[in-house]
């Protein structure tokens, strides 16, 4: 199981990156940090700078076909930067085109909205995105974790850091199913 974690060079909520990465590793998978720029990404603990993490692949060279799934961590600034980057948006769209599972937490659905992939899907997020999701044709629900199997792939969404335990359990299970299907 090889999972891409797409983040901007600065602004990702650290725990929304590190907890899902560790869950993937604990399940025997590979968590690959993909960003729009090489070097290191600056994570945040809410509004305070936290740790930095090395970028393993740059979105220009990364291909969705080389992964079993995609995680979009939140943080307010992270998805706001990603949704303005055409390369990042194209990378997200590629996962949907290939039918690969995608997971997003907190503010990360902003990137999904920009990729125009929420229409007709039920998803959750940080509450302030509710109107954005509805305006993009999605159905916003207030649930810890939402799994939507609409279209050709699975979309997993979660609201906030407090939901990380459930989010991590679901992404590992869903990405595992995708890996099993691909092996057949």
Residue 46 is a catalytic residue: no
What Cα–Cα distance (Å) separates residue 117 from each residue in 1, 58, 113, 140?
Answer: 24, 22, 6, 14
CA distance linking residue 173 with residue 169, whole number of Å:
6
Measured from the Cβ of residue 40, the count of other Cβ atoms closer than 10 Å reads 15
- Of 21, 46, 97, 107, the active-site residue reads 107
- Of 21, 46, 97, 106, the active-site residue reads 106
Residue 148 is a catalytic residue: no
Q: What contacts 167, CB < 8 A, 6 or more positions away?
A: 20, 103, 105, 144, 145, 156, 158
Catalytic residues: 106-107
């Amino acid at each position: 199981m090889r999972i891409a974690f797409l983040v901007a060079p600065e602004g990702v909520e650290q725990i929304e990156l590190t907890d899902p990465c560790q869950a993937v590793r604990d399940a025997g998978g590979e968590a690959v940090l993909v960003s729009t720029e090489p070097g290191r990404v600056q994570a945040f603990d809410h509004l305070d700078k936290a740790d930095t993490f090395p970028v393993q692949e740059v979105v220009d060279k990364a291909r969705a076909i080389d992964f079993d799934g995609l995680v979009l961590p939140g943080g307010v600034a992270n998805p706001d930067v990603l949704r303005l980057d055409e390369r990042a948006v194209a990378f997200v769209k590629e996962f949907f085109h290939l039918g690969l599972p995608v997971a997003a937490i907190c503010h990360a659905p902003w990137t999904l909205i920009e990729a125009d992939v929420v229409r007709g899907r039920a998803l959750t997020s940080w509450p302030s995105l509710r109107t954005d999701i509805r305006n993009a044709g999605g159905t916003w629900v207030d649930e810890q974790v939402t799994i939507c199997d609409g279209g050709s792939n699975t979309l997993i969404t979660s609201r906030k850091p407090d939901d990380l335990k459930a989010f991590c359990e679901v992404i590992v299970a869903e990405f595992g199913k995708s890996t099993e299907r691909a092996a057949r």
